[in-house]
Structure 1
Amino acid sequence: MEPKKNPHLDVKRNSMLYFFMGMTFVLLMAYLALNWKTYYSEDTWDLGSVKVNEDLIEETPFLKLKLPDPPQPKIQSPPEIQIIDDEDDLEETFIKPNESNQDTKIAEVDDIQVVEDDIPDTVFFSVIENAPIFPGCENESTEKEKRECFQEQMLKHIRKNFRYPEVAQEMGLEGRVNVIFTVQKDGSIGDIRLRGPHESLEKEAARIISKLPKLQPGKQRGTPVKVPYSIPITFKLN
């Protein structure tokens, strides 16, 4: 005959219920532990105290500077007034007037010295009052037009008389010759100075300038003066 167990005494009867109850209790305790908040009873924090060595504290000395007293103003003594008796005779100073009258003698014209104008002997083309005039530019109305006409006629003269030196062509020489000449007081050309890459080119430039016609001289305050003028002549092979 098999032994029978009492169902009310079976230990495993409610094991699953006890397990879930235990798990629920553990989770609840863990949740409360994570969300538990604590508060300080005092609002002040103990930051500690810093001790400073009193030997390291230096006292700043106070310097008392005595400024010099301001200079005393000089008091000028009033002028001394001399009282003279009425009986004494005083000599009054007579001031002679400078104004002319009918008895004043007028100086002669020959006795008056006239200072001559200090006009320089040489004035540059860019600053002269009346620039030299190239033949054919006399009818220009303004000074500016006469200067422009002078430069245009100079370029025409160079193109008309230009001739490339044979020696320079054979040697393949090219370059620019800077030419400076002076329009003399009588309108002639003189004091020609040249600077170029080769002597043959300089000679050709001098020949072109020597063929310039006689010009009207430049004038400063109506007086003829020497006027230097510079122009470049370019030599270039085709």
Structure 2
Amino acid sequence: MRDTKNKSSALERKKFIFLEIGMIVALAAVIMAFNHRSLRNSSTVIYERLHDKTTDQLIPVTIQPNKPPPAPPPPTTQFNIVVDGTDIETDYKIDVEADEKTKVANYVPFVPDEETLPEPKLPYNLDKLPDFPGGEIARLQFLRDNLKFPQSAVEIGASGTVYIQFVIEPDGSITNIEAVRGPGVGLNEEAVRVAGMMPRWKPGMQRGRAVRVLFTMPIKFVLQ
């Protein structure tokens, strides 16, 4: 009987020990479970940060449309002259002036020399002025294409405006070409030469018939 009581008393004491062990084991299991869950969450966060970091490093590529090439500059009458075998960087242009003071179709009364031109004075108050074939643009282009800066003028740096006069006959031909004012040094001669190359003009008209007209034309030679 005493042995049975002793066993019951021993079991009663061990029950608290077993209960404590069980609580410890259960608590340890709970702690491990929390640690495991925290580790999983931490891994997910690390992965997401790495993923975001990789995304931030991507550089967008923008393809710019090809711009059209710039338009070529308008052609100018410029030449490079070589003097005595030495290269000289001399740029110049030849302008044909036409302003209010010196009109392209400016005609003036003209008294011809009786010995060379036994005809009466050139008429004025015309109904229709003479016209270069193709118009004013064609006239300017003709002069730019054919005028050449004289080498003698280039060597001394001469420039200036040459005023030439000529008569436009009733058939449109050009006669009596002369330089009435200019710097010389070959520029006057060049202006007269090119004026003599001009094709027949459309003659001036007075009272329904073609008449002779005196024409004044300035040509400007400029060294740059």
Q: TM-score, normalised by structure 2?
A: 0.43
**Bigger share in strand:** 2
Which structure has the greater CA radius of gyration? 1
Q: Specify which structure has the bigger relative contact order, considering alpha-carbon pairs within 8 angstroms and separated by 6 or more residues.
A: 2
Q: TM-score, normalised by structure 1?
A: 0.41
